[in-house]
Amino acid sequence: MNFDRHRRLRSSVNMRNMVRETALHKRDLIYPIFVIEKDDVKKEISSMPGIYQLSLNIMDEEVHEAYKLGIRAVILFGIPNRKDACGTGAYDDEGIIQKATRKVKSLYPDMLVLADTCLCEYTDHGHCGVLDEHTHDVINDETLPLLVQTAVSQAKAGADIIAPSNMMDGFVTEIRKGLDEAGFVNVPIMSYGIKYASAFYGPFRDAAESAPSHGDRKSYQMDPANRLEAMLELESDLKEGCDMMIVKPALSYLDIIRDVRNNSNVPIVAYNVSGEYSMTKAASMNGWVDEERIVMEQMLSMKRAGADMIITYFAKDICKYLDEGEY
- Taking the complex as a whole, the smallest distance from the CB of residue 254 to ligand PBG amounts, in Å, to 17
Q: Given 248, 281, 303, 316, which residue is catalytic?
A: 248
- Taking the complex as a whole, the smallest distance from the CB of residue 211 to ligand PBG amounts, in Å, to 8
Where along the sequence are the contacts to ligand PBG (CB under 6 A)?
116, 118, 120, 128, 165, 201, 204-205, 273-274
Helices (H) and strands (E) in the chain, counts: 11, 10
Residues 15-29 as b or e (16 or more Cβ within 10 Å = b): eeeeeeeeebeeebb
- Taking the complex as a whole, the smallest distance from the CB of residue 284 to ligand PBG amounts, in Å, to 18
* 9 vs 16: CA distance, rounded Å: 6
Nearer to ligand PBG, 98 or 274 (CB): 274
Q: Given 83, 99, 103, 195, which residue is catalytic?
A: 195
Known catalytic residue at 42: no
Known catalytic residue at 218: no
Nearer to ligand PBG, 60 or 125 (CB): 125
- Taking the complex as a whole, the smallest distance from the CB of residue 159 to ligand PBG amounts, in Å, to 15
Nearer to ligand PBG, 201 or 253 (CB): 201
- Taking the complex as a whole, the smallest distance from the CB of residue 274 to ligand PBG amounts, in Å, to 3
Over its C-alpha atoms, the chain yields an Rg (Å, rounded) of 20
Rounded to a whole number, what is the distance in angstroms from the first to the last CA of the chain?
Answer: 34
**DSSP secondary structure string, 112-180?**
EEEEEE-STTTBTT--SSPBPTTT--B-HHHHHHHHHHHHHHHHHHT-SEEEE-S--TTHHHHHHHHHH
* 14 vs 26: CA distance, rounded Å: 21
Nearer to ligand PBG, 28 or 116 (CB): 116
Residue nearest to ligand PBG (CB): 204
* 98 vs 91: CA distance, rounded Å: 9
Q: Which amino acid is at 297?
A: E
Please state whether beta strands 52-55 and 42-44 pair in parallel, antiparallel, or not at all (unpaired): antiparallel
Nearer to ligand PBG, 122 or 184 (CB): 122
Residues annotated as catalytic are 195, 248
